[in-house]
Amino acid sequence: MTASMRRLLAALAVAAVALATPAPAFAQQQTPGLSIRLVDAPTNRKDDPRARIYVVDHLQQGDRIARRIELGNGTDAPLPVTLYAASARIEDGQFRFGEGHVANDLTSWTRLEPGHVVVPAHGTATTTVTVVVPNDASGGERYGVVWAELPSSRGSAAVVNRVGVRMYVSVGSGKEPVTDFRIDTLTAARDEEGRPVVRTVITNTGGRAIDLAGELRLGNGPGSLSAGPFDVQLGTTLAPGDEAPAIVRLAKDLPDGPWDATVTVRSGELVKEAKASITFPSGAGASAKPVVAESVEQQRRVLIPAAAALAVTVLAGLTIYGLRLLRLRRSERLRRVLTAA
């Protein structure tokens, strides 16, 4: 079977299981101004929370994908909106938007239809993003943003506001590169003002960009104290091979420790946890020796078995209920027969 045939078959298989859904009502009261939302997520990424808010996909040369994007207007007046794709890149652990309409490979493969729309007051409008990867595209991951841009405000310092959906499109003929990362060490330190901080380094060891969020918990401290969770301040996006420092700032009156520190970092459905025993040094600007973080078993699929167990319990309950109902009916029938006799 040739690659193109296989691709065609795959496309047909996907098309066969594809569903269109009616545009759901928009939660207007929650989103003042102009809002944007990805409506379609690929079926093979249903477990990936990132794929529900961003256009995330791995495509082969010649592939074509289409995603709907919904715009919502939370204001009392119609909003004329311009739609376009513009470049983005990952730099210094940040997903950085290109200025204006600056293009790259990905945006040149991307079309928006319609490209201009008037969103009615308290209403919604839909546009479709289509990405067609040329047959001669080179492999690798590319980034962009689908922007919905409001008209410029009046005045001599005019303001243009735009809101977008990020795109992470990986191109390659083979299987999708893995998504993976590593938490290296934990370092307890104090900043210039003497506040305790925990520093760690996250390395993207996979072949795709990751969006990181995380938290730190402290346990087993002096007097069995525990603290947290504290948000980890991360550069939010890491390109493949990149590493980024992450910092957690803590309250000044926190005891020195020792503490059992657990850092949980997540990108989409991939969750990593690392543990280390740390003690904060005394003195502003001081830093303890970095402690190698011990990786905790991946938590990735913990919730799914839990949900399955719940489902089994509910099914068992229903079965018992059904059995009882049947038994009741049968005894009633028996009683009726007996009464008739």
For Cα atoms 233, 236, 237, give the angle at the middle one, nearest 5 degrees: 145
β-pair partners for 89: 96
Site mask, other proteins, residues 225-264, x = CB under 8 A? ------xxxx-xx---------------------------
Among 3, 225, 326, 328, binds other proteins (CB under 8 A): 326
Measured over the CA atoms of residue 8, residue 10, residue 12 and residue 14, the dihedral's sign is negative
Say whether residue 31 binds other proteins (CB under 8 A).
yes
Residue 127 C-beta-side C-alpha neighbours within 13 Å: 27
Site of tokens 């293009």: 103
The one segment of 113-121, 183-191, 201-209, 210-218 that binds other proteins by CB under 8 A: 210-218
Q: How far is the CB of 211 from other proteins (least distance, A)?
A: 4
β-pair partners for 182: 203
Site mask, other proteins, residues 90-129, x = CB under 8 A? ----xxxx-xx-----------------------------
The residue among 178 and 314 lying less far from other proteins, judged by its C-beta, is 314
Q: How many angstroms from the chain centroid is the CA of residue 284?
A: 37
What's the token pair of residue 340? Answer: 């008739």
Per CB under 8 A, contacts with other proteins among 47-66 are 47, 49-50, 52-53, 65-66
Interface with other proteins (CB under 8 A), residue total: 97
Q: How far is CA 47 from CA 42, 43, 133, 214, in A?
A: 10, 9, 25, 19
What's the token pair of residue 218? Answer: 């402290």
Q: How far is the CB of 230 from other proteins (least distance, A)?
A: 9
The residue among 230 and 256 lying less far from other proteins, judged by its C-beta, is 230
Phi, psi of 14 (to 5 degrees): -65, -45
Q: Give every CB contact of residue 36 below 8 A, 6+ residues apart in sequence.
A: 69, 70, 71, 72, 146, 148, 163, 164, 165
The residue among 211 and 242 lying less far from other proteins, judged by its C-beta, is 211
Q: How far is the CB of 84 from other proteins (least distance, A)?
A: 12
Site mask, other proteins, residues 67-86, x = CB under 8 A? xx-x-x-xx---x-------
Say whether residue 20 binds other proteins (CB under 8 A).
yes
Cis amide leading into 240 (omega within 30): no
Q: Which amino acid is at 23?
A: A
Site mask, other proteins, residues 264-303, x = CB under 8 A? --xxxx---------------------------------x
The residue among 277 and 300 lying less far from other proteins, judged by its C-beta, is 300
Candidates 106, 153, 105, 99; CA nearest to 129 is 106
